[in-house]
Amino acid sequence: MDLPPLCGPRGSATLRRVEPEATPPRPLRLAVVCPCYDEAAGVRQFFARLAPALAELRPAVDARVLFVDDGSADGTLAILEELAQEHPEVAVCGFSRNFGHQAAVSAGLELAAGADAVMVLDSDLQHPPELIREFVARWREGADIVHGVRRSTADAGPLKRLSSAAFYAVFNRLSDVALREGAADFYLLSGRVRAVLAAMPERARFVRGLVAWVGFRRAELPYDAPARAAGESKYGPLRMARMALDAVLSFSVAPIRLATHAGLAVSALGALYLAYVVVRHLAYGDLVQGWASLLCVTLILGGAQLLFIGLIGEYLARAYTELKARPLYVLARPLAGPLWPADREPPRGPAA
Ligand code: UDP
Ligand code: MG
């Protein structure tokens, strides 16, 4: 802006007020957390698609990849270390053994402190890296949680589909947080949601459930899951069942209530039956042959008791595990340094 001349009419010099130059905002820090377990066959292929997807976001977004090796036994860690050598934006950490997918995701969330947002995706190319830009766009529009929701999946057999549908139906009926069917571990979390989840001490972790539980503004992004790039799924029927049980028991006390209600009902029936036996004995005295029905009742009651003791045991076991407060995972190979230098600046919000 021009100011009037400083000295008299003769003065030809004008002072130009220097407008303070607006410092451009620093790039948004995006940590991309990729859990890997025995992914040696496909992880390079995965990174070959991830790297250009992230390069496309520059310079507005400064993305770092954080590979969490979950105790792989097939040389995955060595490949990841090579990737970290070749690409400065790649960081690697590795567990001392296989602690499970949920622990690997949790480690990633914890280690991504300082990020404005964290993207979590599988490293088998079932979560297309090209979609990360859409996740980031939704976050910049104001969503704290952007959840990928699977429209279709190329390599799930009828059994996996059916068991998955049954799991979501049961989970949503029993728990007070709603899980969207097909919402897998493919999501972007804002810095504040990441901080909340990383601070949660619970051990029987079902991160998807915690993401649903935590609240905040959310958006969904539909996607089609292709078949795995290479290797095999690590989630066989037994592991899936274990995870479903963990999920239901850590988000619902309905099963233990069911035990109480069923116990009450069975006892009431027993009492009625006892009344009938007493009346019949007094009236007719013909109950000698009743042993078979008695045996049935004993068996049914015994079975019900065992079942419910088992259920109570499940909760007790969980309470016990939480009490022990063991670390969720042990890092055998820690990160070489923080992803970003420590600063006092708070993480930038989703709409920034
Ligand atoms: N994974 C992991 N630890 C495990 C099992 C799996 O870190 O114990 C990783 C795996 O490398 C992949 C993701 O979790 O990146 C999803 O696993 P997978 O593809 O086997 O499951 P699916 O897609 O079949 O449900
Ligand atoms: Mg997979």
Query: DSSP readout, 39-102?
Result: -TTTHHHHHHHHHHHHHTTTTTEEEEEEEEE-S-SSSHHHHHHHHHHH-TTEEEEEESS---HH
Q: Residue 34: name the closest of 124, 113, 95 by CA.
A: 124
pLDDT in tens, 54-110: 999 999 999 999 999 999 999 999 999 999 999 999 999 999 999 999 999 999 999
Ligand 2 center from residue 219 Cα (angstroms) = 22
Looking at residue 72, what is its pLDDT?
A: 96
Looking at residue 14, what is its pLDDT?
A: 53
Looking at residue 347, what is its pLDDT?
A: 78
5 pLDDT band, cuts 50/70/90, is: very low
Element housing 170 (H / E): helix 158-174
For domain 28-249+328-333, the CATH class is: alpha beta
| Radius of gyration, CA atoms only, the chain | 29
Residues in contact with ligand 1 by the CB-under-6-Å rule are 35-37, 39, 70, 98, 100-101, 104, 122-124, 126, 233-235
Distance CA 202, CA 211 (A): 13
pLDDT in tens, 184-227: 899 999 998 999 899 888 777 888 888 888 888 999 999 998 88
Looking at residue 204, what is its pLDDT?
A: 76
Looking at residue 11, what is its pLDDT?
A: 45
Element housing 28 (H / E): strand 28-36
Task: Give mean pLDDT, residues 320-338.
Answer: 75
Distance CA 121, CA 84 (A): 18
Looking at residue 317, what is its pLDDT?
A: 78
Q: Would the pLDDT of 291 be above 70?
A: no
Closest residue by CA, ligand 1 atom 14: 101
Looking at residue 174, what is its pLDDT?
A: 86
Q: Closest ligand to 42 CA?
A: 1
Closest residue by CA, ligand 1 atom 24: 233
Look at the pTM and tell me if it is higher than 0.85.
no
Distance CA 206, CA 200 (A): 12
Looking at residue 242, what is its pLDDT?
A: 86
Domain ranges (residues) in the chain? 28-249+328-333, 254-324
Sheet holding 117-120, edge to edge: 218-225, 145-153, 183-190, 117-120, 28-36, 61-69, 90-95, 331-333
Closest residue by CA, ligand 1 atom 16: 122
pLDDT in tens, 119-132: 999 999 999 999 99
129 burial level (CB within 10 Å; 0-12, 13-18, 19+):
buried
Looking at residue 191, what is its pLDDT?
A: 92
Residue from 32, 37, 50 whose mutation best tests the ligand 1 pocket (most atoms within 8 A of CB):
37
Looking at residue 265, what is its pLDDT?
A: 79
Q: Residue 50: name the closest of 129, 148, 134 by CA.
A: 129
**Which atom of ligand 1 is the closest one to the Cα of 98?**
8
pLDDT in tens, 252-265: 877 777 777 777 77
Looking at residue 290, what is its pLDDT?
A: 67
**Which atom of ligand 1 is the closest one to the Cα of 100?**
8
Q: Residue 95: name the closest of 75, 77, 113, 110 by CA.
A: 77
pLDDT in tens, 267-280: 777 777 777 777 87
Closest residue by CA, ligand 1 atom 2: 101
Q: What torsion, rounded to 10 degrees, do the Cα atoms 309, 312, 314, 318 define?
A: -150
Ligand 2 center from residue 15 Cα (angstroms) = 65
Looking at residue 287, what is its pLDDT?
A: 66
Listed in sequence order, the residues at least 6 apart from 75 whose beta carbon sits closer than 8 Å to its beta carbon are 40
> Strand pairing partners for 345?
none
Looking at residue 28, what is its pLDDT?
A: 93
Could you identify the residue written with the tokens 């390599």? 155
Q: Closest ligand to 163 CA?
A: 1
Looking at residue 298, what is its pLDDT?
A: 78
